[in-house]
């Protein structure tokens, strides 16, 4: 899977957006800014505004580097077999993480109590997108439900990801709905519960399928 500037410049532009936004609002920010909020949306950690530059780094830049490096270090080159699907997934993931960085930076700009709704909604959207692409992921060591049983058997991998794709897509949409219509600890608790369910169910299912096929 070859890369070129012609293919990568839209992604690089998306990566640059939160950096550009932070630069645009830099002079409006005080030296001490909120960096973390509790379940009620109240600030529980403050820090230097210089720390804000790490937000787009650990969101857009990090996810881009991971997607760029994975096909190169995949020993069986299975990720490359996804072709255009992998390119689409990389673009969507970078776009969503860029949006997440923008949301967090905007929340920081407010300088006080905020709602967790935008962040949780973006996270739900991210999970739904991943679910939509789950069934296209070939067996590999970097992306997908990587249990000993899925990595051992291509059939177990296929069946597990067919189920996981549906669960993640529906779970992600449910997270978005939860974020939009509920508030406070109930909102966070339900989103966390959905996340745990869609993570654990495919893992258990992969073991059960492996045992049935063994």
Contact (CB, 8 A) for 135 and 161: yes
Choose the weakest-confidence range: 40-49, 59-68, 181-190: 40-49
pLDDT of residue 43: 78
- Summarize pLDDT for 23-53 with one digit per residue, the tens: 999 999 888 988 877 767 777 888 899 999 9
Confidence of residue 59 (pLDDT cuts 50, 70, 90): very high
pLDDT of residue 123: 93
- Summarize pLDDT for 74-119 with one digit per residue, the tens: 887 888 888 888 889 999 999 999 999 999 898 888 776 677 889 8
Does residue 1 surpass a pLDDT of 60?
no
Q: Cα separation of 14 and 16, whole Å? A: 5
- Between the alpha carbon of residue 42 and those of residues 22, 36, 108, 110, 121, the distances in Å are 22, 8, 12, 12, 18
- Between the alpha carbon of residue 60 and those of residues 5, 12, 57, 94, the distances in Å are 17, 9, 6, 6
Confidence of residue 60 (pLDDT cuts 50, 70, 90): very high
Does residue 176 surpass a pLDDT of 60?
yes
pLDDT of residue 112: 65
Q: Cα separation of 172 and 202, whole Å? A: 15
- Summarize pLDDT for 130-160 with one digit per residue, the tens: 999 998 888 888 889 999 999 999 999 999 9
Radius of gyration of the chain (CA): 19
Confidence of residue 188 (pLDDT cuts 50, 70, 90): confident
Does residue 64 surpass a pLDDT of 60?
yes
């Amino acid at each position: 899977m070859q890369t070129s500037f012609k293919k990568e410049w839209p992604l690089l532009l998306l990566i640059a957006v939160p950096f550009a936004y932070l630069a645009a609002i830099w002079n409006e920010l005080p030296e001490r800014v909120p960096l973390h909020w509790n379940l009620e949306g109240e600030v529980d950690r403050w820090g230097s505004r210089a720390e804000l530059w790490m937000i787009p780094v650990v969101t857009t830049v990090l996810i881009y580097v991971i997607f760029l490096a994975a096909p190169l270090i995949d020993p069986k080159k299975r990720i490359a077999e996804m072709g255009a699907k992998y390119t689409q997934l990389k673009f969507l993931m970078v776009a969503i993480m860029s949006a997440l960085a923008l949301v967090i930076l905007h929340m920081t700009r407010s300088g006080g109590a905020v709602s967790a709704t935008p962040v949780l909604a973006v996270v739900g959207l991210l999970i739904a997108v991943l679910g939509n692409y789950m069934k296209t992921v070939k067996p590999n060591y970097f992306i997908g439900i990587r249990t000993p049983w899925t990595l051992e058997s291509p059939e177990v991998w296929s069946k597990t990801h067919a189920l996981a794709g549906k669960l993640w897509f529906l779970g992600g949409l449910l997270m978005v709905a939860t974020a939009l219509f509920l508030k406070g600890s109930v909102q966070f608790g339900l989103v966390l519960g959905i996340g745990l369910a869609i993570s654990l169910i495919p893992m258990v299912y992969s073991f059960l399928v492996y045992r049935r096929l063994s």
